[in-house]
Amino acid sequence: MPVGQNGLRADVIMDPISPVKRINLSQLYEQYVNATSHMVTCVVRDLMGNGEHQQAWEYLKEYYSVVSPPMIQTINEVLNNDRRIATHLDIIAAEGIYLYLPVDSIHIGPKLIQDLRTKFPVDIQPVTYSPDGVNQVTTIDPVLIGSKYMMLLEAAPDNWSSVSTAKLQHHGLPAKASKSDRYGSPNRELPVRIMGEDEVRLLNAALGSDVTADLLDRSASPTTQKAIIRSILNSDKPSNVESNVNRRKFPMDNARPLVYVKHLLSCAGVKFVRGTYDHEKV
């Protein structure tokens, strides 16, 4: 994953247009504020390492007053002696900054970002990454790396509703579940759609065609689906199954839509074969 300012390594690469598409501009404020907090934490650690605890405290208080005026009021009331200040600095140096910044705060907005850029500028640098796992590439433009709070939406794993498998019609193709089907079985027969046209192209580019074909086969092959469900039900640890499909017993290329296409083409005398890819001829 990319490495940017202060040696930060990104865990997630975010689409820069998604905040505009989803009209969720607040996540840009959150990312920049958290990136600034990380930079301030690094400065505080350096000052404390040099024995300049008073300078570290004054620098931290100034940051609080800019990023969250309500928080600095509480800080001044609670941290009213040297022992509490020293404890607070030790926590910041060990765990980082935790801000009190309500989502409905009137201080959140473009002016907050402008003030932070003026008084606490983040050294946004080009990031370095390895597209092929061997060669290192550095971007021309600087890229900001900052933390974000993310909530994973998933069903609780203490019941069958956390397991999703598509309902199939009589031809073996995925079918849309009706309202009566929602509570007709212990598992969830309306799984999320994650393998659209764009997602397939991204997976091919990042992970390769073999991984993409395997995922598509798992969702579109009735025999593979049954094997996965059987392995989950028979496993001692259903949430930690090492391999739920034996590809020697259930090979790929058996997805029902693909089987129909192959059958129709074979009736016309056409057959797909897997060839080789020569990078030098591209």
DSSP-assigned letter for residue 238 = G
Rounded distance, CA 128 to CA 9, Å? 9
Rounded distance, CA 57 to CA 234, Å? 58
Cβ(187)–Cβ(160) below 8 Å: yes
Cβ(126)–Cβ(139) below 8 Å: yes
Q: Under DSSP, is residue 258 helix (H, G, I), strand (E, B) or coil?
A: helix
Which residue from 164, 160, 159 is spatially nearest to 177, judged by alpha carbons? 164
Q: Is the four-CA dihedral 220, 223, 224, 226 of positive or negative sign?
A: positive
Rounded distance, CA 62 to CA 167, Å? 58
As given in the structure block, the two tokens for residue 77 are 């009331």
Q: Are strands 128-129 and 137-138 parallel, antiparallel or unpaired?
A: antiparallel
Cβ(195)–Cβ(201) below 8 Å: no
Regarding pTM above 0.85, the answer is no
Q: What confidence score (pLDDT) does residue 99 get? A: 87
- E-only strand ranges, the chain: 128-129, 137-138
Rounded distance, CA 54 to CA 57, Å? 5
Quote the distance between the C-alpha of residue 72 and its chain's center: 32
Q: What confidence score (pLDDT) does residue 163 get? A: 64
List Cβ neighbours of 75 (8 Å cut-off, separation of 6 or more): 61, 64
Provide the residue-wise pLDDT of the chain in tens; the chain has 282 residues: 888 777 788 888 877 787 887 788 788 888 899 999 999 999 999 999 998 999 999 999 999 999 988 888 888 889 888 899 999 999 999 998 988 888 788 888 889 999 999 999 988 888 898 887 788 888 898 888 888 888 776 655 555 555 667 777 888 887 777 777 666 766 666 666 667 788 888 888 888 888 888 888 887 888 888 888 888 888 888 778 888 888 888 888 888 888 889 899 999 999 888 777 776 765
